[in-house]
Amino acid sequence: MKRVNSFRRTLFLTLFMILLTLIFLFPLFWMVVTALKRPEELATYPISIFPPQAQWIHFQQVLFTNEVTDFFGGLRNTLTISLSTTVIVAISSALAGFGFARYKARGKNFFFGIVLATMMVPLIIMQIPQYIIFSQLGILSLPWPLCYMPWWLTAAPGWAIFIFYYRQFFASLPKELEDAAVIDGCGRLRTFWQIFMPLAGPAVTTTCIFAFQWTYSDYVQPLLYLIDENQVLAVKMLMDVKIPGVKWNLPLPPIPYQMTVGIFYMVPLVFLFFAAQRYFMQGIATTGLKS
């Protein structure tokens, strides 16, 4: 009796999960079939779900020609910006988070309050003043890859949410670690770098994944700071997608090609998630985000 029940339960659960997955994946399925249609086929009535003839050539055109968009140029820019920013953010946020977690000082709670408050300040309010600062510093007309300086400069102080996150993480480590380091004659910075950072692997992974994904998909900042030749994929996908062979281009980018670029755009993110998901889970679990 019990076995039958458990079998039924498994069956039910599996079916339920498959149904859920289908619902979640339906928009993605739509993305793929749209990518495979010819631009004119989007205007037919009644709509066809599957294209009469799948246009796999779109995939080829996006990857192997520059006629749709400079895909690999965009990808190179996107990866440069996301990787460099991620590395800087992961380290600098850890520094500040470590300070907040491990040392007592007057004004600490005040500054931590500010860290939390800055999470709530809408970024749009600072855009133009920040632009003026960067413009005055003269870093907006530098050649590649220094044109990504605005990201590095905003990443160098760390991001509030990650500072908070690292603080939680470092606060959960035992006090004895530090005492041992002092006995070994380590300086503060070395204690941080050689003793605490190696223990923070999962936390670093989590930070990196989120920082990477957010930088990767942002298009508001790149639109503000970058010139066309250094532009990232997220912007190119919205503004600079053409139909190969059509010289005079439409007021709107052709949707099937946009979708095709979008699919390739996702590939690095999917890889990253696959590669890092185990650490990623651990990272959040060990922090426990207590208090």
Partner 1 sequence: MKKTLVVLLLLAVVAFGCSNLFAASQVRVTVMYNANEFSADHVKQFEAENPDIKIVKLETDIARFMAMSAAGNPPDIMRFNGAAVPYLANHKMIMPIDSLISKGKYLKKDDFESIVDNFKYKGKLYGFVKDWSPTLIGYFNKDAFTEAGLKFPSPTEALSYAQLADYARKLQKTEGDRIVRRGLAFWPGDINAQLEQTLIQTGTNLYSKDGSKLVLSTNPQVKAICKFFYDLAKEKVIPSPISPSETWEGSLFPGGRIGMIVYGYWYGAMSEGEQTKGKIGVLAAPQWDPKKPRVSPSFNVVGGVISSKTKNKEAAYRVFDWYFGGPPAKERASSGWGVPAQKSLQGLVATDTQLGKDRAANLKEEMKYIKFGNSSPYVLPDIYENSMRKNFELALKGDISFDQFLVNVENEVNKQIADNKASAKKKK
Partner 2 sequence: MTANITPAALQKNKPVKNVYKFFQREGTAFYGFISLWLLGFISLQLFPMAAALVISFTNFNGMSFDNTVFIGWSNYLEAFQSADAYYSMGQTLLYAILSIPLTLALALGLAMLLNQKLIGRGAYRTAFYLPTMVPIGATALIFKAILDSNTGFLNLFISLFRPNTVINWLTDYGLYCLVVMGVWSCGTQMVVFLAGLQGIPEEMHEAAAIDGASKLQIFRHVTWPLLTPITYFQVMLAIINAMQMFVPAAVLSQADSTSQFWNLKHSMLVFPAHALQQMMSSQRFGYGTALVWLLFIMVLIIALFVSKTSKYWVYYAVDQEEGGAKK
CB of 77 to partner 2, least distance (A): 15
Scanning residues 167 to 226, which ones bind partner 2 (CB under 8 A)? Answer: 167, 170-175, 178, 185, 187-190, 192, 210, 213, 217, 219-220
The one of partner 2, partner 1, none whose footprint includes residue 141, by CB under 5 to 8 A per kind, is partner 1
What distance in Å separates the CA atoms of residue 62 and residue 198, rounded to the nearest whole number?
41
Q: Where are the alpha helices (DSSP H) in 36-70?
A: 57-64
State the amino acid at position 73 in one-letter form. G
The residues binding partner 1 (CB under 8 A) are 39-40, 42-45, 70, 91, 127-128, 131-132, 135-136, 138, 141-143, 146, 149, 193, 220, 223-224, 227-229, 231, 235, 239-240, 242, 247-253, 255
The one of partner 2, partner 1, none whose footprint includes residue 161, by CB under 5 to 8 A per kind, is partner 2
What distance in Å separates the CA atoms of residue 92 and residue 96, rounded to the nearest whole number?
7
The binder of partner 2 chosen from 15, 57, 114, 227 (CB under 8 A): 114
Tokens of 131: 């632009």
Applying CB under 8 A, the site for partner 2 has a residue count of 100
Q: Nearer Cβ to partner 1, position 65 or 249?
A: 249
The binder of partner 2 chosen from 82, 102, 207, 243 (CB under 8 A): 102
What distance in Å separates the CA atoms of residue 88 and residue 158, rounded to the nearest whole number?
8
Three-state DSSP state, 6: helix
**Helix H or strand E encompassing 79:** helix 71-102
Scanning residues 237 to 276, which ones bind partner 2 (CB under 8 A)? Answer: 237-238, 251-252, 255, 258-259, 262, 265-266, 269-270, 273-274
CB of 68 to partner 1, least distance (A): 12
Contact indicator for 264, 241 with CB cutoff of 8 Å:
no
**Helix H or strand E encompassing 238:** helix 233-239
What distance in Å separates the CA atoms of residue 69 and residue 236, rounded to the nearest whole number?
7
Cβ–Cβ contacts within 10 Å for residue 287, how many?
20
Contact status: 157 vs partner 2 (CB under 8 A): yes
CB of 41 to partner 1, least distance (A): 8
